[in-house]
A and B are shown apart, each in its own frame.
Chain A
Amino acid sequence: MKKINIFMIVVLSIFTIGKCWSEEVNLYSARKEHLIKPLMELFEKESGIKVNIVTAKASQLHQRILREGKNSPADVILTSDAGNLWKAAEAKFLQPINSDILINSIESKYRDKNNLWFGLSLRARIIVYSLDRVQENELKGYRFLSDPIFKNRILIRSSSNIYNQSLIAHMIYKYGEENIELWAKGLVNNLARDPAGGDRDQIKAIAAGIGDIAVVNSYYIVNMLNSDKRALFDSLGVYFPKDNEMATHFNISGAGLLVNAPNSDNGKKLIEFLVSEKAQKIYAYTNFEYPIDKAIDIPNELKNLGTYEEDSTNVYEYGELSYKAIRLADRVGWK
């Protein structure tokens, strides 16, 4: 019996020795590592705080935080969708942050009214289309996509993707659930093929002639137009959808401070850093996202995308309606 005791003590000490005693912050990120690396490296350099990262899908992180409970080591959660942050707040994972920096840099429509989460960068869900096969006057906003003139011409990714779910949620908020159910049915009828692949695949498919119109996130097309393969996409145009009731759908990437955070001060510092000018410039110039701080100058690649009108809806609504959106998509057979 004695041997087992000694063994247990040795084992436990090995585990505890691993715990670092220097300044650090633990980040659970739904954004992929290679996208946030430049930001985290800059933060580590400027603050001297080490960032420990775990990346996974937002829903997986959500489950992990739920199961880990009050001893969860996570300080900050970073996601690329407002709906995910809303769900984290609903599940009571987040604690409010009192920060003038955050309040002053971020408009209220991009943050939780109780300061539980904050948007850090923006992306638009826009339409990319073939200049040869689509007339300018055919583009009349998101809702018009269900019109039969688009039969077999539309490309969009699966409804299981969070960006589409937030778009549907936004539209439900604007037009009502019944109307959007009809809309979604029409959209599914107009698809050139069953949803397959990601946003970039839809853009490539237009270039290949499989469809004429694709709904994608802004940074994808910017990336492609500025890659070494840009010649392939010369015949493509960009349209920021807008009609009388709804302007362009913008979503946020954002962060929140977890309620059981062991390093909450460092967590707050990290989030505040992410709205600083240097960080916002990285979002804009490296990832081609729109900065949340409107005072930041955007790169030419983004300017070249075109002017737009952003819809006024508070991003909070995407989360509230996300479950409805998922079920609606299932009902209409949007795979």
Chain B
Amino acid sequence: MTIFLKNSWAYLSVILSLIVIIPILIIFLFLFNTGDDTWLHLKNTVLTSYIVNSLILLIFSALGTLIIGVTSAWLVAMYIFPFKKYIEWLLVLPLAIPSYALAYVYSDLLNYGGFLTLTFSYIINNEINAINFYSIYGAIFVFIFSLYPYVYLLARQAFIVQSGTYIEVAKVSGLNLLSIFYKVAIPLARPALIGGVILVMMETLADFGVADYLGIETFTKGIYKAWFNLGDIVSAGKLSIILLITISLIISVEKILRGKAEFSNDTRSSRNFKFFSLNKYFGITALIICSIPVIIGFLIPFATLIIWSIQSVKNVNLDIFINLFISSFSLALLASCICILFAVFIIYGVRTNSAIAGPFARIASLGYSIPGAVAAVGVLIPLVWLDNLINNFLLQYFDISIGLLLTGSWFALLFAYLVRFLALSMHSVESSFIKIPMSLDYVAKVLGSSNRSILIKVHARMGLGGISLGLLIVFIDVLKELPATMILRPFGLSTLAIKAHEFAMDERLGDAAIPLLAIVVVCLIPLFILARGIRQ
């Protein structure tokens, strides 16, 4: 009994993880049941290109975001250069722009007669053909510039908060900056970097919008095609399992490489960190290097959306727009709060007893790599079962039939968001909890605090950075989410993302720009709050 009580937080963590795991499991158990197997057809035709394309996307997105994220994070964390105070948080802004919006914008700008094509022609004084953005290169470009902020944020956090004293020591010991970078900063930042890259990879794999618009055959498109178009859930299941195994492999490899290293850091404040100064030319170079991702990932798309919106503003119906706005905002807010709550309890449970709670938490975070459409169906199945249960119960004892209660309501949608985005909140919470040294826990225990008060008084406070980050990232992602929202939404609920998508699919990019711009603006609000946090 005492053992149970002692590990009660771990068990709570397990229970919460299981709630999220159920739809994930159902997708697979259910998928291997029946159905017409088109696996051979897939194998002989498109499977190889799915694998090749997805791998290419994965590898190059990971590399690209790593390079951009780490470089800018290092420059911003270590040096002083002109306008660094602004660039520091401007670098985060691409998160406000949905990746599919980036695809719409650049495919248009680089098209025949597109603004960028004309500009390049002018600059090199030669007529150039349209650049074909509808290719895998276009997709890689989009993923790199819309996802690098994940790596940037986590790397920056790691460099600043963690490495402070170590870097000073290294400096005093006479190491030059490059060696400090390779020998001290990067190894210490490894869990953060890997965490960021894994997020990027999962988001790349789960993406549907960009691949669909640019015409790339990826695994997710294959899953979607098999399941929804061919009605072959068995093949969809097989494809999904391959996807998940890939992700699990990546995560496991990272764990093995990490070995037994513990990654908590010193608790001393690093506010007195002495930034390195740069001479004028290096300073400007640093500024330019850091500005490029901001310009490509945020400024150009943002400006384009504004221009398109101004051109189509006459078509807008204000009532409907306000409705959309409120719905999107409330959904995103609710979802992020639920995700953070789950994440905090799960991660804390893992911390108290990682042997019990750990594996479940790992599996629960896999939801992020499941494509939204698949997650939506995975959520539908248990909820309909539950709904039918409730319905039958009420019918039997009270003779009322209320139809579907949970499905077709906000509950189903929020549940799907939880399954999809728990990983995001878990990663942020984990990366900040991990910096709270275990010694603090032990000391608190020795002094008689219960697990509950440790969570409230210590971790929640010290991990506030990670918690806020988690809230933010989930909020933004839910605001941008498309497929799961389309499938599960109740009557009368539409979101900005759906509206934008419908216009874009009808090739009315001008009309799509207004809801897209609204999404960007709403995302900017929490990002500016985050930016304030960064500046301190």
Q: Which residues of A contact B (CB under 8 A)?
A: 12, 15-16, 18-19, 26, 32-35, 52-57, 59-60, 62-64, 67-69, 71-73, 87, 158, 160, 193-201, 204-205, 208-210, 220, 262, 323, 326-327, 330-331, 333, 335
Contact = CB atoms under 8 A, between A and B. Distances in A.
Contact of A26 (B41, B381, B387, B491): B491
B41 A327 contact: yes
Given A62-B228, A67-B380, A68-B407, A330 B46 contact: yes
Nearest to A220: B507
B516 interface: no
A196 B215 contact: yes
B369 interface: no
B215 A195 contact: yes
B486 A56 contact: yes
A213 B95 CA distance: 39
A130 to B, nearest CB: 14
Nearest to B377: A63
B315 to A, nearest CB: 9
A73 B387 CA distance: 13
Contacts of A333: 45
A199 B507 contact: yes
Contacts of B403: 19, 71, 73, 262
A12 B408 CA distance: 14
Contacts, number: 134
Contacts of A73: 403-404, 408, 491
Contacts of B492: 52-53
B134 interface: yes
B405 A160 contact: no
Contact of B404 (A53, A71, A205): A71
Contacts of B390: 12
Nearest to A72: B404
Given A32-B506, A160-B225, A193-B132, A54 B46 contact: no
Contacts of B213: 197
Contacts of B531: none
Nearest to B491: A52
A326 B505 contact: no
Contacts of B225: 160, 326
Contacts of A72: 404
B402 A53 contact: no
Given A60-B486, A67-B381, A197 B134 contact: yes
B217 to A, nearest CB: 6
Contacts of A330: 41-42, 45-46
Given A67-B380, A210-B130, A327 B38 contact: yes
B228 A69 contact: no
A16 B46 contact: no
A34 B498 CA distance: 12
25 contacts: A15-B409, A33-B494, A34-B506, A35-B506, A54-B491, A56-B487, A60-B483, A60-B487, A64-B488, A69-B388, A87-B231, A160-B225, A193-B134, A194-B135, A196-B135, A197-B215, A200-B507, A205-B112, A262-B403, A323-B230, A326-B225, A326-B230, A327-B230, A330-B41, A331-B45
Contacts of B215: 158, 194-197, 335
Contacts of B491: 26, 52-54, 73
In the A-B complex, the 3 residue pairs with the smallest Cβ-Cβ separation, listed nearest first, are A196-B134, A208-B112, A59-B228
Contact of A57 (B41, B380, B486, B511): B486
Nearest to A330: B45
A90 to B, nearest CB: 9
Nearest to A26: B491
A333 B48 CA distance: 12
A210 B112 contact: yes
A19 B402 contact: yes
B373 interface: yes
A12 B402 CA distance: 10
Interface string B217-240: 100010001011111000000000
B468 interface: no
A68 to B, nearest CB: 6
Nearest to A209: B112
B324 to A, nearest CB: 11
